[in-house]
Amino acid sequence: MDSFALLLQGLSVAFDPMILLYALVGVTLGTAVGVLPGIGPALTVALLLPVTYGLDPAGSLIMFAGIYYGGMYGGSTTSILLNTPGESASIVTAIEGNKMARAGRAGPALATAAVGSFIAGLIATLLLAFLAPQVVKLALTLGPREYFALMVLAFVTVSATFGESALRGLTSLFIGLALACVGIDGLTGAARMTFGVPQLMDGIETTTLAVALFALGEAFAVAGLATPPDTLHAVKGRVSMSREDWSRSWKAWLRGTFIGFPIGSMPAGGADVASFLSYAAERKMAKRPEEFGHGAIEGVAGPEAANNAAAAGTLVPLLTLGLPTTATAAIMLAGFQQFGLQPGPLLFLTNAELVWGLIASLLIANVMLVVLNLPLIGLWIRLLSIPRPWLYAGILVFATLGTIGVNPSPVELGMLILFGFMGYGMRLYGFPVAPVVVGLILGPMAEQQLRRALAIAQGDWSTLVSTPVAAGLLAVSFLFLVGPILLRLIGRGRVLQELAGDSD
């Protein structure tokens, strides 16, 4: 069957009234939580994971898809109105969007972000549907050594290539890899780093770590701030665009989409990179470059589209290879695993209905979001004005609820507090937290592939570079690791520093 027929079949799954309801609940919750200041899509997904525990796999994954897209939408609203981007990918939106809001043009800024996200989400989800089966075919030809090389590439791009400092990124990654050692070794069954504590046998839960680092770490950091941050900008006028705004936006949307999707779908960094590149492209191509920095609408339209297209793009490696390349994708993977589903080429064969239902739901969620968001924006904005004490108190209760609901053991809660405090410290000294989460989930997978590859080759390490694909991927990883360090040494590191990621 070709993609089109499969997608239609998926749509028939997704149009089930119950499934539509799940998607609607998902986008509503996702937007509501994503709009809260300081909460990005990664944290939105992690916090709302417990809501989906009681449902069947199909329903919960579809609600999940809605939460993911909703969280992305909500984040842009926050960065435009509050200048506290909840996710690194929205930092760029905040540059121009917040300037527009200050100039009383919050309405058009919100509108171009919403419509741009919709168009990008639509195109990118369709591209996902058509690209995924091809990647699956490719993935079936890959062996352990190629998988290992792919994971090394993901490690390098997530930690070292972009961001303020390769050293701090790598440090975070290695902390994640170290935590990943806890638990039973997948190949021999040896218990590692468990110290006789039975609760540690299963290893450290991805969701516990992610919630601790993102939610608790952020709450501590906000509480510790001596001076409170920026204030809210009221929306003046309607959330709509003039003819001029439309004509300036649409090209930026399309450019953003086609910048964002390929970047998201390669294991080469997430949405933040895409939105920065899109911003740079818009600034270069703008007819009125002098407006940039003072609220240029292209600077909101392009990056927002790129951001959403990349978010859909990250689902390509996640669904087809089981390879999460962002913190959000890592938490989604944990969500899949809780139902015993392992994303990867086999998922398309064994659970085709589920996968295509999920992809179709993304399309539907996208439509729901644009319908829900343009008229309801006033309601979301009211959420932004919740006073910080109540807001963070609520976030903490929900953060602990996820852990308590799954595993109410004191050990698990203790780990949550410990990692939360670690996240606080990492924030203070500029260590990115996303590589820790990616390291935790990808670490054991990479180890297993490595040892499998070596077992096949009877312990001969040269097997890792014996196929062109594996050797090429490792060479690219090496370039991505060393290149940025050289760039920084010769003083060209500013570009990379601008691409600094914070949350995913």
Nearer to other proteins, 258 or 398 (CB): 398
CB of 332: closest distance to other proteins in angstroms?
20
Contact (Cβ atoms closer than 8 angstroms) between residue 23 and residue 62: yes
CB of 190: closest distance to other proteins in angstroms?
4
Q: SS3 for 38?
A: coil
The residue whose two tokens read 């339209």 is: 301
**Closest among 246, 254, 372, 252 to 300, alpha carbons compared:** 252
Nearer to other proteins, 124 or 399 (CB): 399
CB of 12: closest distance to other proteins in angstroms?
27
CB of 310: closest distance to other proteins in angstroms?
20
DSSP assignment of 285-316 equals: H-S-GGGTTS--THHHHHHHHHHHHHHHHTHH
CB of 447: closest distance to other proteins in angstroms?
5
CB of 304: closest distance to other proteins in angstroms?
18
CB of 8: closest distance to other proteins in angstroms?
32
Nearer to other proteins, 48 or 268 (CB): 48
Nearer to other proteins, 345 or 420 (CB): 420
Nearer to other proteins, 115 or 464 (CB): 464
Q: SS3 for 283?
A: helix
Q: What is the rounded distance in angstroms from the CA atom of residue 82 to the CA atom of residue 211?
A: 23
Nearer to other proteins, 244 or 460 (CB): 460
Contact (Cβ atoms closer than 8 angstroms) between residue 306 and residue 260: yes
DSSP assignment letter at 233: P
Nearer to other proteins, 5 or 187 (CB): 187
- The 10 Å Cβ neighbour count of residue 418 is 12
Residues facing 191 on adjacent strands: 184
CB of 296: closest distance to other proteins in angstroms?
19
- The 10 Å Cβ neighbour count of residue 21 is 13
Nearer to other proteins, 11 or 454 (CB): 454
DSSP assignment of 411-457 equals: HHHHHHHHHHHHHHHHHHTT--SHHHHHHHHHHHHHHHHHHHHHHHT
CB of 454: closest distance to other proteins in angstroms?
4
Nearer to other proteins, 171 or 325 (CB): 171
DSSP assignment of 101-144 equals: HHTT-HHHHHHHHHHHHHHHHHHHHHHHHHHHHHHHHHHHT--H
For the chain, how many residues are written? 504
